[in-house]
Amino acid sequence: MKTEPDTFSIDDLKTRKVEPWDGVRNYQARNFIRAMNAGDAVMIYHSSCAVPGAAGLGKIAGAPRPDPTQFDPANAHYDAGSDPSDPRWTLVDVRYVRKLRRVITLDAIKALPKLGDFALIRRGNRLSVLPVTDTQWQAILALE
C-alpha cells in the first residue's frame, strides 16, 4: 500500500497504531482492498518523495468496510455519485507492525532478479494498492 510520507508516513502509522486507509478512488485498487482479510500482511511503501521505497510493515485490522469520506461533501474524496445503500468505495483499517530497519528503495527492488510480473515496477504504474506474492514479499524483505 502506497502512501506519500509528506502526508502520512510509516512514522505516522506507528503513532496512530491503526489507521483507516481512506480516499482510495481507483476501481482496481478498490478491488484489491475488497479482497483483503483481517490479519493480512501489508507492506507500506513511500511514494512521491526523496527516496521512494518500502518503509514498513502493517497488517489488516478488520474486514473491508465502506469508506465514510465518500459521503462527506466537505471531504476532498467526496463522491456525489455513490449510493449509501451500495457504497462505491471501500477502505480497510491498517495496523502498524514495524518499520523496516532502512527503506528498501525502489531502485533496489527493481534490481531484484526474480520478481516476475509485479505491479509496483510496471511501466507507468499508478496503482496505490497492489498485490504482493509470497515470493516478491520475501525477496524484498531479504534486502532489509
Partner DNA sequence: GCCAACGTTGGC
Which lies closer to DNA via its Cβ, residue 113 or residue 124?
A: 124
Gap between the Cα atoms of 117 and 21, Å rounded: 25
What string marks each residue from 38 to 77 as x (binds DNA by CB under 7 A) or -?
---------xxx--x-------------------------
Beta strand 90-91 with 2-3 is unpaired
Closest CA to 34 of 67, 83, 76: 67
CA-based R_g, the chain, Å: 15
Distances in Å between the Cα of 9 and the Cα atoms of 13, 16, 48, 57, 59 are 6, 11, 12, 12, 15
Q: Which residue from 8, 20, 26, 87 is in contact with DNA, where contact means CB under 7 A? A: 26
Between residues 11 and 37, which has the closer beta carbon with respect to DNA? Answer: 11
Q: Could you say which DSSP state residue 42 is in?
A: E
How many other C-beta atoms are found inside a 10 Å radius of the C-beta of residue 59? 15
Binding status of residue 124 toward DNA by CB under 7 A:
yes
27 binds DNA (CB under 7 A): yes
Please say which residue, 62 or 82, places its beta carbon nearer to DNA.
Answer: 82
Report the residue number, 84 or 124, with the smaller CB distance to DNA.
124
- Using the rule CB under 7 A, is 31 a contact of DNA? no
Least distance to DNA from the beta carbon of 6, Å? 12
Q: Give the footprint of DNA on this chain (CB under 7 A).
A: 2, 4, 26-27, 47-49, 52, 106-107, 122-128
